[in-house]
Structure formats: structure tokens, C-alpha cells
Structure 1
């Protein structure tokens, strides 16, 4: 777990940030954009789910929704807001995020999936590495 406030700076990566977890200042959870890690940490009792974000862009979650904006606490830290794909494979996310990083000089790429219009946020680190990447629901198309 990477803590940028720590005097000792362990190695960190975009993969770790997105698929595992990092903290800032010991109390703010950053990264953590993978549903499998969220599930595993919740199963261990480390997650206190605070709810999902509902607005015009974000539908109420159910078994057919595959993207979610949410809030939770993890151990001693808070994730004030975040978004993740739900039920997709890590391979899908890894491939999607890599394609967005390699094909776009911009840090936001719009993509469409079946009933979703999604913006993939991909912050470049030194223009050579992914710092973070995650989905943001632009529009849910009711079908």
C-alpha cells in the first residue's frame, strides 16, 4: 500500500493503484477501482459500504448494471467517491485501460458498451505510465 505522505516512498504503479489500493495521508483511500478487490476486502470485513451515487447518469444498481459510482471506508481510510466496473474480468479492464492509454494523448476517452456511454479517465504518469484509470458513466441508455 502506497502512502505519499510517508517519508519512506515504496514503489507504486498504476496497476497497484487501480487493481489493489493506495492511501493518501493514511486516511484517504485512493485507487481501488476493481470490483474483485472490493468483493475480497468486503468478505474479509475491511469494507464498510456507504452507498452508491445516484444522479441522472447513474442508475440504481441491480444485477444487470455493470458500472457503479460508490463510497466506502476501508480499514481506517475513506473512499469519498469512486467508480468501478462490476462483474467484468480483470483481462477486460486491463485491455481496455491499456488501449485507452496507448491510443489517446488525452486523459479521457469516450467509449460505448451496449447500454452505457462511458468515459475512461486515464491519467498518464510522465507520459510513459498509467497513474490511474477508471470508468465514469456518462449516460445509461434505458433499453
Structure 2
């Protein structure tokens, strides 16, 4: 879990830095990225499950963006939230950050509406890529560990 936590922390730090490099990049970093990361590192590394959650998050950001495009008011926010809750429950995904991602356009007020779903897709794609690498490192580390049989430890005294 330590390797996963460090990998996630480094990724979030990188995305935060990247998002500050230009005005078009600021939407790459959003608070629920950390929630997705924590969700992903605490679950089993089964790619289909993680991909399903990421794809549903992108879909929810599209739903939120479309609702925001229709009207940036409270009724659109309400309708968007209800649709995404229905989607998460229908697909039986235990991933509350999906709902939060649909709200991004309502607090970020993107100049270009397509930026919100694109930013979510790029950020979550990067997160999945980094965690895939982290999982591979964990598997490699687990394979290379050779336990020392009990009673046959290395002696460190001068008699050797």
C-alpha cells in the first residue's frame, strides 16, 4: 500500500503542477481526483472495474456539462445530480466521486464546455496509467522477494 500511496501522491503533485502551467490546463486538477486515486489504490487492481469507474466518471462529466450548457442554474444542477445518481446506482458502482465530477462545470465555469469532460478523461487516464505502473512495480517487488528460511539468518558476529 505504501508504493500505491507514494505513486498516487506523486501523480497528484504532478497534475497540480501541470494544471498551473497555463490557463487551458487549470481544469486538469480537481479535488475529486484525489478521491478517485484513493478509491483506486484501496480496491483490487482489476483493470475492468477501474476502467468502468473511470468511464462512468467521464460520462458523468459529460452529463454535468450538458446540463450546465442548457442552464447554469440550480435546476440544471439538480437534474444533473439526479441523473448521475441514477446512473451510478443502475450500474452498481460503489464510487461516490463519480457524482462529484458531474458538478465540475457548475463551480469551474469553463469557457469552453468541452474542457471539463476532456480534463476528466485525461486526468483519470493518467491516473490509471500511473497506477498500472505502480501495480506492476508491486507485482515485480513481490516476485523478487525471497524469504529467508527460519533459523538460517545471516550471522553478523566476528566468528564468520
Using structure 2 for the length normalisation, give the TM-score: 0.27
More strand by share: 1
In our comparison, the structure showing a higher alpha carbon Rg is 2
- Bigger relative contact order (CA 8 A; separation at least 6): 2
